[in-house]
């Protein structure tokens, strides 16, 4: 059986990030993506120019329809946009106990345009971190969420907020390698990948969705993380130019290793 992944994220009309990226990554890894679109953005491969959020009533009706029909093996959360949307997501997660949750705390686009209000980090820290299995912020996102600057302090603060696994990515560093750091109660684990030339649209979405696909297939967290990062590096290595801005990862690689499937709820 394909793992069913519930994706809660925003729509990117350029097709490089958001729901497009999530669906492509999950499907290429052998999963099936059902979606709740939190917001419609005005963006292209160069920047975000604005966004409008979907009403809570419509999100609720869509969620009710999905849960009446389908069971899910994992959940991926991307753009939330407001504390009200975050509160809705928290209530929804409480209806799906035991399902792995991957939180990509989207606060801005890769090119820098805002995708959230000023009160979103506080609400996310309070409502979603304790309900997540894994969070995958880049360092600027982790700093904004944690209210501190150093890498280790960010990891410790997000663990204290209740998320048991915090993967802070090094995509925004100016180093020869991209270094990703996983913080858990057992300590810190590091991965290093050769830094590729160029900048990429939707790399964070791709990573979080790949993690969700692997967790939904029943892989243990360390294996899911290792395989997801390897998949993303391959997608970035074969990225292509769709517009005049950032490169688009090629997410067509097909590989999904299954473990013991979770009981669908």
91-105, 170-184, 222-236: range with lowest mean pLDDT: 170-184
265 has a pLDDT exceeding 50: no
255 has a pLDDT exceeding 60: no
Measured in whole angstroms, the distance separating CA 161 from the mean position of its chain's CA atoms is 18
pLDDT band at 45 (very low <50, low <70, confident <90, very high): confident
* 112 Rama class: left (phi>0) / alpha (psi -120 to 50) / beta: left
Tens of pLDDT, residues 187-219? 999 998 888 888 888 999 999 999 999 999 999
Cβ atoms within 10 Å, residue 138? 23
Tokens of residue 171, six digits: 């995509």
Could you give the CA distance from residue 43 to residue 48 in angstroms, rounded to a whole number?
4
Could you give the CA distance from residue 91 to residue 100 in angstroms, rounded to a whole number?
15
**Could you give the strand order of the β-sheet that contains 4-11, starting from the edge strand earlier in sequence?**
48-53, 32-43, 4-11, 74-77, 101-103, 134-135, 166-168, 177-184, 187-194
- Report, as an integer, the average pLDDT of 43-66: 93
> For position 261, what pLDDT does the model report?
43
pLDDT band at 260 (very low <50, low <70, confident <90, very high): very low
- Report, as an integer, the average pLDDT of 103-109: 82
> For position 75, what pLDDT does the model report?
98
Could you give the CA distance from residue 235 to residue 228 in angstroms, rounded to a whole number?
11
pLDDT band at 256 (very low <50, low <70, confident <90, very high): very low
- Report, as an integer, the average pLDDT of 103-119: 69
- Report, as an integer, the average pLDDT of 135-163: 95
- Report, as an integer, the average pLDDT of 130-134: 98
Contact, 32 vs 26, CB < 8 A? yes
Nearest CA to 174 among 199, 154, 156?
199
Q: What is the mean pLDDT of the chain?
A: 90
> For position 110, what pLDDT does the model report?
56
> For position 87, what pLDDT does the model report?
97
Nearest CA to 225 among 154, 147, 168?
168
Tokens of residue 153, six digits: 């302090």
pTM (predicted TM-score): 0.91
Tens of pLDDT, residues 74-87? 999 999 989 999 99
128-142, 191-205, 214-228: range with lowest mean pLDDT: 191-205
Higher-confidence residue: 110 or 22? 22
Residue linked to tokens 């979907």:
54
31 has a pLDDT exceeding 90: yes
Percent of the chain with pLDDT over 70: 91
């Amino acid at each position: 059986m394909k793992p069913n992944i519930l994706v809660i994220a925003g729509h990117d009309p350029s097709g490089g990030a958001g729901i497009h990226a999530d669906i492509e990554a999950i499907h290429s890894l052998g999963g099936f993506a059902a979606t709740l679109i939190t917001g419609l953005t005005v963006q292209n491969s160069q920047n975000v120019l604005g966004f409008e959020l979907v009403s809570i009533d419509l999100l609720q009706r869509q969620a009710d329809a999905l849960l009446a029909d389908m069971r899910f093996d994992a959940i991926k959360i991307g753009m939330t946009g407001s504390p009200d949307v975050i509160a809705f997501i928290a209530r929804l997660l409480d209806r799906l106990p035991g399902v792995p949750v991957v939180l990509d705390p989207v606060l801005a686009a890769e090119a820098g345009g805002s995708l959230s209000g000023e009160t979103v980090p506080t609400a996310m820290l309070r409502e979603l971190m304790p309900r997540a299995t894994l969070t995958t912020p880049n360092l600027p996102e982790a700093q904004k969420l944690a209210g501190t600057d150093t890498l280790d302090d960010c990891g410790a603060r997000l663990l204290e907020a209740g998320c048991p696994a915090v993967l802070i990515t090094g995509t925004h560093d100016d180093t020869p390698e991209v270094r990703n750091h996983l913080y858990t109660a057992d300590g810190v684990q590091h991965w290093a990948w050769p830094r590729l030339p160029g900048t990429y649209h939707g790399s964070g979405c791709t990573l979080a969705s790949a993690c969700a696909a692997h967790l939904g297939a029943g892989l243990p967290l360390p294996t899911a993380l290792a395989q997801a990062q390897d998949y993303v590096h391959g997608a970035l290595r074969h990225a292509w130019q769709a517009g005049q801005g950032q490169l688009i990862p090629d997410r067509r690689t097909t590989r999904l290793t299954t473990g013991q499937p979770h009981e669908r709820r």
